[in-house]
Amino acid sequence: MTDTHTNGSSSPSRRALIGWGGAGLALGAAAAGGAVAMANAGNDVDPVAAEAGGAVAFHGAHQAGIATPVQDRLHFAAFDVKTDDRAEFVRMLKDWTAAARRMTAGEPVGEGAYGGLAEAPPDDTGEALGLKPSRLTLTIGFGPSLFDKFGLRDERPAALVDLPKFPGDNLDGARTGGDLCVQACADDPQVAVHAIRNLARIGFGKVAIRWSQLGFGKTSSTTPDAQTPRNLMGFKDGTRNIAGTETDRLKKFVWVADGDGPRWMTGGSYLVARRIRMNIETWDRTSLQEQEDVFGRDKREGAPVGRAKEHDKPFLKAMKPDAHVRLAHPDSNDGITILRRGYSFTDGTDGLGRLDAGLFFLAYQRDVRQGFIPLQRRLSAHDALNEYIQHVGSAVFAVPPGVRDAGDWWGRTLFSKEA
């Protein structure tokens, strides 16, 4: 990230003088807010970075990182809350917002990584100094368990349901759930990791990382004019995904509307995160014909069965009854549509010589009860792909609306009544 820190080494940082109680980061955020805000309130489409490595606007009616063109890398972290002090937690959210505002603009956190008081830790960890913003987006969500804290029980949206256990689930509790999450997407992995690292550092004592996931090779796209990415099974993924420019579909399927639930969620969305392990070794020994039958598309072009091109309208009845595309298609599910932002992952081996690899599935929707849950019930019961995959981690989050201006902060619509 571009380093704009200019303080001399003899000048103590404001953070060192007044601490992390909100003012330290807020002071440093004022200048960055004006430079990066490019306020987008009222727009349905998140802004797009104008140039490679550029900055995506942080402010807007909706959080960036949902309809924003999907970046190449991911660092996703779920956190557990460790404090019982509501005011302390709110101060942390404000500090996080100030830091996110700077990092997405390519600026160091607070007073930077050097030049402050030598006897105190620097405000920024420093590993992103000199790097471009890389289209970094930071998206926050609140898990069901958060609403058991801070007197929030009555504010939990009805749509934020605990996901049921689906057939075939083998969930690892250490990779499931979380009081809140932050999704960091960027075109540079170091920029994404830097963002989560600094938020975790700022939140020390108030929150702790419960689990995290690195992702590479986006497996879906919100820019359908670009080439459709492929998953680790070698097939194109996300052919009919919602585009970031399709304001009508975003409004219908992704953004929470006024009257859908509590007012604090208006303009937000609901996120389902699933860690899906692929049985890579078994898949790699499966015939090409069976692979294509499982998906319902050909491997070379991505065309549906009986069609020539990827984007040709699929003839679902020409596919096998248990083909993935046939079962997942909106026409087979009363029009159910979700916005996907998944990534591939490879996390070493499982100790038995098999790759621990697969898909980190991320899906945004207006209501989980009308989106992921009915869709996954159908897939988990009938999808031929189930022979080659297993869901091993899971979480659901309410993603609040965007930060509208330099005076706004993550979670204000939820906490401002009593903050």
- What residue ranges do the domains of the chain occupy? 63-103+137-419
The answer to whether 152 and 364 have CB atoms below 8 angstroms apart is no
Q: Give the torsion through C-alpha atoms of 274, 279, 280, 285, to 10 deg.
A: -150
Tell me how far the alpha carbon of residue 408 is from its chain's centroid.
Answer: 21
Residue 24 has what pLDDT? 37
> What pairs with residue 269 in β-bridges?
399
The answer to whether 383 and 327 have CB atoms below 8 angstroms apart is yes
Residue 51 has what pLDDT? 56
Residue 2 has what pLDDT? 44
CATH class of 63-103+137-419: alpha beta
Amino acid at 353: G
- Distance CA(374)–CA(376), nearest Å, equals 6
Q: Packing angle between helix 23-36 and helix 86-103, nearest 10 degrees? A: 40
Where do the DSSP E strands lie in 125-267? 137-142, 180-186, 207-218
Helix (H) and strand (E) counts in the chain: 10, 9
Q: Distances from the Cα of 340 to the Cαs of 6, 167, 317, 337, 349, in angstroms?
A: 41, 22, 25, 10, 26
Which of 95-123 are b and which e, b meaning 16 or more Cβ less than 10 Å from the residue's Cβ?
bbbbbbbbbbbbbbbbbbbbbbbeeeebb
- Distance CA(186)–CA(135), nearest Å, equals 5
Residue 417 has what pLDDT? 65
- Distance CA(233)–CA(407), nearest Å, equals 45
- Distance CA(226)–CA(234), nearest Å, equals 17
The candidate with the shortest Cα–Cα distance to 223, out of 69, 397, 45, is 69
- Distance CA(284)–CA(269), nearest Å, equals 37
Residue 38 has what pLDDT? 37
The answer to whether 388 and 294 have CB atoms below 8 angstroms apart is yes
Mean pLDDT per 10-residue segment, the chain (419 residues)? 40 37 36 37 42 88 97 97 98 98 97 93 95 97 98 97 97 97 98 98 98 93 82 90 93 97 97 98 98 97 94 94 96 95 95 94 98 97 98 98 97 80
Q: Packing angle between helix 189-202 and helix 86-103, nearest 10 degrees? A: 150
**Maximum alpha-carbon separation in the chain:** 73
In angstroms, the first-to-last Cα distance of the chain is 32
- Distance CA(414)–CA(409), nearest Å, equals 11
Residue 219 has what pLDDT? 85
pTM surpassing 0.75? Answer: yes
Q: Are strands 180-186 and 269-278 parallel, antiparallel or unpaired?
A: unpaired
